[in-house]
Structure formats: structure tokens, C-alpha cells
Chain A
Amino acid sequence: MELPILSLLLLFPLIGAVITFMMGKNPKLAKISALVFSAIPLVLSLLMLTEYVQTAGGYQFKESFTWIESLGISYILGVDGISVPMVFLTTLLVFLAIIFSWDIDHRTNQYMGLMLVLELGVLGVFIALDYFLFYIFWEVVLIPMYFLINVWGGPRRGYAAIKFFIYTHVASLVMLLGIFALYFEAASVNGFNSFSMETINAVSPFFGNTFQVIVFGALFFGFAVKMPSFPFHTWLPDAHVEAPTGGSVLLAGLLLKMGSYGVIRIAFPALPDGAHEWQWVMVALAILSIVYGAIMCLAQKDLKKMVAYSSISHMGIVMLGFATFTELGIAAGVLQMFAHGLITAVLFMMCGVVQHKTGTRNIPRLGGLAAKMPFAATFMMIGFLASLGLPGMVGFVAEFSVFTATFDAFGWLLLIPITSVAITAGYYIWAMQRTLFGPLTKEVDVEHLHDVYWFEALPLAVLSGFIVLFGMFPALVLDYIRPALGAVIGLLGGI
């Protein structure tokens, strides 16, 4: 038998976390073990990328064992074209985030261990094919993030951490109720209990309409909070502002994706009719998030808070793409998830760098950094430009296709979200002008201003490389995504 890649993907972070936690005495060793144990999943995911048969579609590398028989819960793992890029993104970002956090000296072993636990949770979410399993991983993610914010966070970390914890916990519990409803409804159709996604989604056409509408509401609430979509977004800025850089990178790069992933993996296939009934709500929220988030960015003084709000705006684009229910829109949405993961990682790392070197993230107090730290400035520009959708960078194709799909589906309604393209350019370019350019400000300690260290430059360089690579050859990702969409579109009544 060939090796169970997916189980190994989960196993190594787990082992790594345990081992790393034990290295309280020796921080250096803790870092190295964390690095190793995050490198292994990265290798595995690369292996998976090569082994995966793009054209085949459907779930591959499947593993399935009965777990809790009496409730029909089983341990089912599998990946399709939607989850493959996410898995790669996860392993990559965790690995880089660990490198980036090389200078963590406070409770190093715990920090690194938590990073690995986080990886475990997120990977689990992306590869679980059983609703129960999915939910467990979904919740597992919260705890390490709670500690990351709460122990290594900024001044108001206590507030931010508990807000994040409870807000998203409420959301996931509501989602859980929805999953229960699905479970019983499917059981009444099938005549046997099962939490397996495929089993439940297979009978989704038999679910009553009102049932679908209500349950979709529950699920969508859970996901909308996670994405986060206006008006359920307020936990995000606080969490980001307080979280340590590594935490923010994973929070924005991966945790938000879990929300949109849930929509495409669960809400749509399981409740197609519900999706159709809710379409306009989704569109409205998506557009609101896009424009609202973009305008909010203009107002922000804190660089990191600005980036946080930009995440809201960009995840709105994902949602908009999904809400078109067209192959183009959904494919673009998934691509945008991937793109945003890479880009936002760079942005938050840069926030960390600026904070680190200058001791402040307050845009008005910054200025002229480009003169003293050219490399940092370059990375920051790459991040900003990629995020504002510059062609040749990964974000552009996704954004462009989403808007194409939007015009295709909703016509002139496009004119509202498209404004964000200009506004986004507005706040990024303006922020660049005020932080990187102009004369150096008094507030910043010019003498000791130091350019990026190796452990900061390396991840940034790698990410920038990927941003450009996938920007020039989006097909590299899209060829995984597109064949997998047939199933979803089919259920949604497309194609």
C-alpha cells in the first residue's frame, strides 16, 4: 500500500508539537525541532502536489476508518482540487512563520509548539471529509490561537484573545447545530446515521426547502464570522492588532480561509437550494465587506489594522466570487483564497518588521523608511502592490476573474465593488507614501534602524517569489482547482 500522506500530514505536527513543548529548557532546540517538524509536512504536501491527478477530480488519497460507530462518525480524509492548494498554503505558511519567529525568546518552546498545533488544526480542517472530524479540527484551531494572542500579544491582548475565542466559538457552535440538522435529515433520508460529507451531500437534493434555508443560515453564519464578513468582522482587527506577527500571519493567511473553505466545501454542496435562497444576502454581504473594508482601511492609523481591514475586503471578493454560483466565479474565488494567503502573509510580516525596527506601527509617525531599509521597503512594496491587484502578481488574475464573473452574473451591480479597486490602490499607495517615502521622522530611532535580518528576509523572499511565480503562471493553481468544481457546480444546478 502507498503511504497515507494525509494522516502523516496530521501526525508530524502533532508529534512535533509534543516534542517541542518538552524543550522548555533549550529554546534553540525547540526552534529547530519546530522547524523540522514543520518542514516535513511541507515536503509531504509537495509530494502530494506531484502525486495528485489533476484531471481525475473527486477526492484523492482517501483514508477512511470507522471511529464512533453508534453515531456514524468516521475518520475520513481526502483532498480534491479545492483543498490541495490550501494544504500547500498551510504547510508553507506555517514553515515560513516559524522561521520568521526565530527571534521569539519568551517561552519559545510553547510558542513553537502552538504553531504546530495550529498547523495540525488547519490541515485537519482542509482534509477532513467527515463533518464531525471537520468540526473537531475547526475548534482545535481556536485554542493555540487564543494562547498565541494572549501570551505573546500586544497591550490589549487579553481583551482581543477572549473576544476572538468566544466570538468565533459562538459561530462554530451555531454551525455545529446546522451540522446536526444535516446529520439527522440525511439520516432520515438514508435510513442510517453518518457524518460523512459525501454520504450527506449525496442526498442533499432530498432536503426540504425551508430546512435548507434555515440550516444554510446557521452554517453560513458560522463561516461568515470566520471569513470574516461584514458585519461579523470586528473581532478580526482587534485580534490582528494584538497578535504576534507569526500569529497574525497564520490567522489571516489560514484561519480566514477556513471560513470560505467551509462555504464551498460544506454549505454549497450540502444545501444547494438554501444557497440559492441566500444568494442575494451573500452578494450583499460580500459587496459590503469589499467596499466597507476598503474604506475602513483609509481611516486606519495603525499599519497592521489597515492590513487587517484589507483582509476583510479581499475575503469579500472571495465571497462575491462564490456567490455568483458560476464555475468562473468559484474558481476565481478559490484562487483568490490562495492568493490572499500568500500576499497577506507578506503584509503582516512587514508589519512585524516595521514594528520591530521602528517600535511603532503608527503610520503618521513613520516615514522615509525606504532610505534606511531598502530591502524591507522592497518587500513591503511587493506586498502592497500585489494586494492592490497589480498584474503579474497572484492577486490580479483572481480579482479580475471574480469581477468578470460578477459582471457576467449580476451586470451593472459590478460598479459598486469595482470601486474598491481604486480605493484599495488609494490606501496602499498613500500608506506607502507616508511610511516608506518622504524624509525620516523624528519619532523613529534613525541610528539603530536596521534592515531585515535573514530570518525575516528569507520568508519574505520566498513568499514574494511565489507571489510573482503564481502571478505569471496562475494556471499552476487553477489547473488543480477547476476540475474539482464540477461536483459543486453540478449540485448548484450549473453546467
Chain B
Amino acid sequence: MDYSAIYPELILALFAIAVPAVNILVKDSRFLAGFSLAGVGLSMLAVVMHFVEGTGRVVFDTGLLVLDDFSGLFMLVFLTVAFLVILASIRYIEDERHKAEYYSLILLATVGMMLVAASTDLFVLYIGIEITSLSSYALVAFRKKDIKGAEAATKYFIFGGISSAFTLFGISLVYGLTGTTSFQEVGVLVGTLDGYREMLWLALVMVMVGFGFKVAMVPFHSWAPDVYEGAPTTITAMLAAGSKKMGFVAMFKFFLIGMLAIKADWDVVVAILSIVTMTLGNLAALNQTSIKRMLAYSSIAQAGYILMALPVGTEYAVTGGIFHILTHAFMKGGAFIAVATLATVAIGDRISDYKGLAKRSNFMAFSITILLFSLAGIPPLAGFASKVVLFSSPIMGTVAGSEWMVWLAVAGIINSAISLYYYARVVKYMYVDELDEGAPSERLKLPKGMAAAVAICVLAVIGIGVFPEYFIQLCQNAAQALFA
């Protein structure tokens, strides 16, 4: 039996299991981190091999899991995120116990995401989501002494439970309506179910709840700010950059393969949801005092942008969506990791704590500026490049004839203009404002690993921004693979 399709998942899963075992032999936490990094690296290698060999679409025997350009790309994204998070965590969780479990959980969560990316079947997808959810519940609660962490975990868990229940129920309905759970077959069959339209809608919405919960899509978003704020920042980074993206993968698969036949039924509604999502996220972010919470809301807004790809639903739009997911992983992940980094050198997560940061660490101030401006979509940064593709897709649709799509683009640009306000505010604190009297002013000594993680993100953001061609290609192939 050919396992080549699931090498990446297998490798990572094995490492995930191995980490605690290794911990019994080697106590050194750095080694653990290195070990898990190696796992991530190997798994990445496996994916990259697939791209290098160009072995198109590889199917795991019964066809529940595939490795193609789409899943491969997302596996890379998830693995990169995991890599950065682990890299950043080395210092961040130094003083905690159970490091082995921490790393192994991160790896497990990643495996879950990869399963989602690879799945061709609702059930498998559900399992993948659950694996990720369960491990991230634990990760959010990882700091056992931290009240906020515990609260965040509780909320995350309860909300996650509800939404997964919804999803499961929805899936059961889909199964009941079509007698199958494979996206392809569902996609073929939904077109024929005119009698059960309403039933189908119910199923669609219920499934959407679970995915919407992951991507923090309004009205299933309310957990996100609290959890993002309460969780250990590295984990927040993973949630924002990893599991959120997993939600999108699920949505792409479900809506654009499974429900494409009845797109006309849901596209406007999803469009409305996307607009509401981006608007609400941005508005709420406007006057936050905690940078983590601000970033949380901003990532709700970003989710709104990416959701655009669904109602537009063209290959070009999906390319844009995937591209923005890709860049957002770096921007948001980088931003949260930067916050975490500063936390390790006793700079709180109040925005006001960043006053005159440029004086104390030019590198951090510059990196955060780049990341935030990229989030705001200022050229020539990655965020701009991806937004260009994403926002232009509804215009393409409009020019092609469906006028209502233009409002998506309009809402998009208005929102990114609004978002500029709170991003620029942080920048102003860091660069324009001077340090308060008596505030510590010595230069910061940043932990190497975290700095490296941040640096990687910044470089990626600039690099993708200036030379997006290759990445756009990747996303295009992925989109094609999705629609294939």
C-alpha cells in the first residue's frame, strides 16, 4: 500500500508521539525543541519533495487523503507556522513544566491541520479539525498558573465544543441528504436535491458554524479576542496563523467543491457575512489598548477579507484567498511572535508599553512596523500583493457581469483604510513618541530564537511583497488543484 501521499502527516505524527518519549532520555528543553523542529523540517522536506518531483496528485489508497498542490501548499504553510512557533517558544516557555507535551501538542495540532488540508471527505476533515482543536485547547491552557490562560481555555473549549457539535450535526445532515460525505460526490449530488433545498441550507449553515468558528467569522467570532488575549502568545500566533487557516481550507473544500452547484444560493449571504466580519473586526480594533487584542480583532477583519474568495468563487479569487492566507500567516504570526518576544524582555502587551520602542530596539520597532504596514496593505509589502489579487477578484467578477460583487471590493478597501488608523497608531507609539521620563531606556537584549523567527517573517513579508511572482504561481496551482 502506497503511503507516499501521507508521508508528511506520518512523519510529523511519529515525531509528535516521539517527543515525550525522547524527553525521558534527554531533559534539555533546547534539544526537545530542536528535535521537534527536525520533525517539522523532515515533514516539510517530504512536502517539498512532492513539489520538486512534480508528482501532481497523489491519493492515499481509499482516496480519503490526497497530496496535491493545494494540500501541499497548505501543509507548507502550517509547517512553517509550526516551525516559527516552536522556534519562538524555546525562550518563551523556558520556565514552564511539561515542555515535551507542549511541543508534541503543537506537532499534533499541525498534523490535524495537515489532515484537513489533505482530506477529501467531510468525516476525515472533521477528525482533522478535532485533532487540532483538542490539542490547541490544551495548549491554550498550558500555563496552569495563569488565570487568564485558564479562562481563555475554558471559553475556547466551550465555544469549540458547541461549534464542533454543530458541524457534526451538519455533516450528519449532509450525509443523510446525499448518502455520501466525499466532497466530490456531494458536489455532484447537491445539484439534484431541489426538493430538499431548505434542508440543504440548514446543513450548510451548521457545517459553516464549525468552520466559521475556526476562522473567527462573524457571528462565530466572539471567542477569538478573549482566547487570543488570554492564551500564551506563541499559541495565539499558532491559532491566528495556523488553525484559522485550517478553517479556510475546510471552507474552500466544503463550499467550492461540495456546495459549488448551489453557489447562487449562498454567495450573497457569505458575501454579506464577509463584509460584516471585516467591518466589525476593524471597528472593534480601532480603540483597543491591548496590542494582542487589537491584533485579534485585526485577524477577524483579515478573515473577512479572505472570505471574499468564497462568494466570488472564481479560480482567480481562490488564488487571491490562498495568497492572502499565505501572507497573513507570516504577517500575523510574525506580529504575535514579536509581541511574545517583547514580553520576554518585560514589555507588556499594552499598546502604550510600546512608547519609544524605536529607541530601545530598532530591530523590533522596524519589524513590527513592516508587519503592521503589510497587514494594512501598504506597498510594496506582501500584504499589499495578496490584497491586490484578492480585492481585484470581485472587480473581475463585476467586469464579468455580476455587479453586486463590486461592493465586496469597496467594503474591502474602505476597511483597509480604517485599519490603517490602528496600525499607524502603534507605529506612532514606537517611532514618534519619546520614552517617558524614568522609563527604562537601555537597549533590549532579545532572545536569539524569537528574534530569528521575527526576522524570518519580516524577510518573508518583504520578499513576497517585492517578488510575488513565484508565490502567486504556487497559489494559482493550488487553486487549480482545488477545482480539478
Contact = CB atoms under 8 A, between A and B. Distances in A.
Interface in B387-425: 388-389, 391-392, 395-396, 398-400, 406, 409-410, 413-414, 416-418, 420-421, 424-425
A136 B428 CA distance: 22
Nearest to A150: B432
Interface string B375-392: 000111000100011011
B373 interface: yes
A147 B369 CA distance: 12
Contacts of A400: none
Contacts of B398: 181
Contacts of A173: 413-414, 416-417
Contact of A177 (B410, B420, B431): B410
Interface stretch (B250-258, B299-307, B469-477): B469-477
B372 to A, nearest CB: 12
A66 to B, nearest CB: 9
A71 B398 CA distance: 18
A339 B413 CA distance: 35
Contact of A139 (B379, B399, B413, B421): B379
Given A68-B472, A165-B424, A169-B420, A181 B410 contact: no
B348 interface: no
B298 to A, nearest CB: 16
B468 interface: yes
A447 interface: no
Q: Name the residue in A158, A173, A183, A188 with the highest tally of chain B Cβ atoms < 10 Å from its Cβ.
A: A173
A280 interface: no
Given A140-B379, A162-B424, A185 B417 contact: no
A165 B416 CA distance: 12
A161 B424 CA distance: 10
Interface residues of B, number: 34
Nearest to A167: B417
A158 B425 CA distance: 10
Given A158-B428, A180-B395, A166 B472 contact: no
Interface in B446-484: 468-469, 472-473, 476
Contacts of B384: 136, 139
A181 B395 CA distance: 6
A185 B431 contact: no
A136 B392 contact: no
A135 B413 CA distance: 14
Nearest to A175: B413
A165 B472 CA distance: 29
- Which of B379, B409, B416, B472 counts the most A-chain CB atoms under 10 A from its CB? B379
A49 B453 CA distance: 48
A174 interface: yes
B206 to A, nearest CB: 35
A135 B379 contact: yes
Contacts of B373: 143
B420 A136 contact: no
B476 A177 contact: no
Task: Count chain A CB atoms within 10 A of each CB in B380, B384, B395 and give the residue with the most.
Answer: B395
A284 interface: no
B209 to A, nearest CB: 32
Contacts of B409: 177, 180
Contacts of A177: 391, 395, 406, 409-410, 413
B417 A70 contact: no
A477 to B, nearest CB: 31
Interface in A182-227: 183-185, 188, 211
A170 B417 contact: yes
7 contacts: A139-B379, A162-B428, A169-B420, A170-B417, A180-B395, A180-B396, A184-B395
Interface of B: 373, 378-380, 384, 388-389, 391-392, 395-396, 398-400, 406, 409-410, 413-414, 416-418, 420-421, 424-425, 428, 431-432, 468-469, 472-473, 476
Given A162-B428, A180-B409, A184-B400, 13 more contacts: A68-B468, A136-B379, A139-B384, A146-B424, A147-B432, A158-B432, A162-B424, A166-B417, A173-B413, A174-B413, A177-B413, A181-B399, A185-B399
What are the 5 tightest A-B residue pairs by CB atom distance, in nearest-first order? A173-B413, A136-B379, A180-B395, A180-B392, A184-B399
